[in-house]
Amino acid sequence: MRIAVIGSGYVGLVAAACLAELGHKVVCADHDQGKVTALNSGRIPIYEEFLAELLQRHRGWGLTFSSSPADAVKQAVVVFIAVGTPMSATGEADVSQVEAVSREIAGSIHGRKLIVAKSTVPMSTCEWIERSLILNGCDRADFEIVSNPEFLREGSAVTDFLYPDRIVAGVSSEWAAQIMRQVYQPLLDGSYALQAGVVPKPESAVDKPLYLETSLASAELIKHACNAFLAMKISFINAVANVCEAVGADIGEVCQGVGSDRRIGSRFLRAGIGYGGSCFPKDVAAFRAAAREFGYKFELLDEVHRINQQQRVRFLRKVRMALWSLRGKRLGVLGLAFKDGTDDVRESPALQIVQALIEEGGEITVFDPAAMANARNVLGDSVRYVTDAYAAADGADALLILTEWKEFAALDLARIKALLRYPIVLDGRNLYEPAEMAKAGLDYHSMGRASQPAAHPLPRQARMAG
């Protein structure tokens, strides 16, 4: 099937590569000529597991890149809209790029097209796309609109696309429904996973996804409701962690007890410094704003947002309590991306904490396995960049863990202690057990658990002099 994907950002690029992997002929179009040139030459703008392999496998045959969305639309039967919908200053999703694409599609339709909204958009956006197409000269008989929300997690986006839990298609005609089933057929019948050389199937993946056909309005709402619920789950467990600290309970034990309830589940029940990235903050804000527009004040989401922001403040308070004044203190920081498995620093709680530490006069040394370049675009020369975790710890008054990279959970603790000026570790992701850190002689502070004092809380110089 000939498919056009308009937008070569995170969602568009992953969707285009994966649709080509399913055997379709895909053109990924973007007005950014520099980005298109880079993609055509094999340079990839984002860090995502398996994406480079797919682009190398299909580029030039099943997948091409174009700077002319109009030409891509003319050649396609199905057109995916995958442009950005950033958060505006007032919290609403900015759909101006979706509107611009709709106008461009209207001038390029020749023959019947299926227009698929893949971007995360507010409720009623599909109605506006239809209205825009008609106002810009399209005959209503020449197109159908589908809402097909993405459920991709950064760090596992390719496997999420190719081995989904569910596929949601908001349709309004049998023709549209039939086309969407054809697009995803290799996933719906499980045949993709049986082919040789495919992206490996995760152990937790289902054999066949749930395929859910809904109304357009329901599909749009499903995406927002999913992300808002997951954000709520994170904020809930962070609020419980704060209670744990007040009463002397251990959030790890509480999470195990709560998460073992099958009605709740353990996923997203992990205390820390809060959620970030390009989805949860934007989508929660957009859902709140859209609900207000339709006459409902979603106060629960106001509290979800407040708790999330407060987690950064609480962690900074822990740093101050461990070190007293931060002015002139040398701090090693592990992690800049908003989560592991990605180089994305948008709305990263780690980056926000680093910026706050700089404002308080801290001297910061940072390391992240993937996000250093993107972080440098934000932090500039205000921090020192090093090439591994141990270099970040060397000579620091304390070591801060701000992103849950697996390699940060497997550090040589004896080496870390020897490198630090003071044996202080502040773990914003609860990657270690307090007893383990105490055994290593480290003064350990985490989220939702009692601080674990070091066996020898003296400066390295004092220990050496003794």
H or E stretch at 393: helix 389-393
How many other C-beta atoms are found inside a 10 Å radius of the C-beta of residue 390? 17
| Contact between 399 and 425 (Cβ < 8 Å) | yes
Instruction: Give the type of residue at 461.
Output: Q
Tokens for 428? Answer: 């914003």
3-class SS of residue 405: coil
How many other C-beta atoms are found inside a 10 Å radius of the C-beta of residue 309? 13
Q: Helical H runs in 22-124? A: 33-40, 51-58, 69-75, 96-106
| Contact between 67 and 33 (Cβ < 8 Å) | yes
Contacts of 137 (CB under 8 A, 6+ apart): 106, 107
Distances (CA, A) of 40 to 6, 27, 31, 125: 16, 11, 14, 32
Please tell me which residue in 18, 244, 255, 279 is annotated as part of the active site.
Answer: 279
Bridge partners (DSSP) listed for residue 79: 4, 115
Active site residue 255: no
Q: List, by residue number, the catalytic residues.
A: 279
